[in-house]
Amino acid sequence: MTAGKPQRRVVKLRGPHRTLLPQVFSMDRPLPDQAAGALDVEELMARCLGKLDLAERVLAKFESRLDEDLAELEQALRAEDSELIASIAHRLRGASANAAAHGIRERATTIEQLARQRRLPEMPAQMQGLRREWARFTETRPRLVPAPGSTA
């Protein structure tokens, strides 16, 4: 595949939505190797029933909230507030699951568990990992656009 050429994918819906016709979409750039695990585009499209505009809105909302959530997590960590850390990490875990951002979801899950166990000394390393996952997500996230000739 040529760099910069839109990548076409067919989304095969699973579960109760299997009877829907597959939707075709393009990404504004091919996914680099380091994107593995950062964003599952096919899962996101299945969650959004193949609707590109909905998938982009889900991602935009997720991206707009994540910086604030990370700042709140850092502040709660400085205050050594385990309950608040667990609450924010839980919210982040759900949002990242909805956005199919699995690397971020895994880090948020670990942070939530550590906070509930009051294992705060382990948090700085986990927060660093969460920030790395966020950077990987933002660096590799493609923009979803209708494929040429698609009615999506």
- pTM higher than 0.85, yes or no? no
- Domain membership flag for residue 151: no
- Domain membership flag for residue 11: yes
Give per-residue pLDDT as tens, 12-60: 444 443 333 344 444 444 444 444 567 888 888 888 888 888 888 999 8
- Domain membership flag for residue 57: yes
Distance CA 128, CA 131 (A): 5
Distance CA 100, CA 19 (A): 22
Distance CA 104, CA 126 (A): 11
**pLDDT at residue 146, rounded to an integer:** 59
Q: In terms of residue numbers, what domain contains 47?
A: 7-146
Give per-residue pLDDT as tens, 93-143: 999 999 999 999 999 999 999 999 999 999 999 999 999 999 888 887 766
User: Total structural domains in the chain?
Assistant: 1
DSSP 47-69: HTTT-HHHHHHHHHHHHHHHHHH
Distance CA 40, CA 46 (A): 10
Question: What's the CA angle centered on 47, arms 14 and 58, to 5 degrees?
Answer: 165
**pLDDT at residue 139, rounded to an integer:** 81
3-state secondary structure of 139: helix
The enclosing domain of 15 has a CATH number of: 1.20.120.160
**pLDDT at residue 55, rounded to an integer:** 87
* Cβ contact 41:6 at 8 Å: no
**Burial of 46 from C-beta contacts in 10 A (0-12 / 13-18 / 19+):** buried
- Domain membership flag for residue 152: no
- Domain membership flag for residue 1: no
2-30 burial string, b = 16+ CB within 10 Å, else e? eeeebeebebebeeeeeeeeebbbbbeee
- Domain membership flag for residue 2: no
- Domain membership flag for residue 38: yes
- Domain membership flag for residue 35: yes
Distance CA 42, CA 80 (A): 38
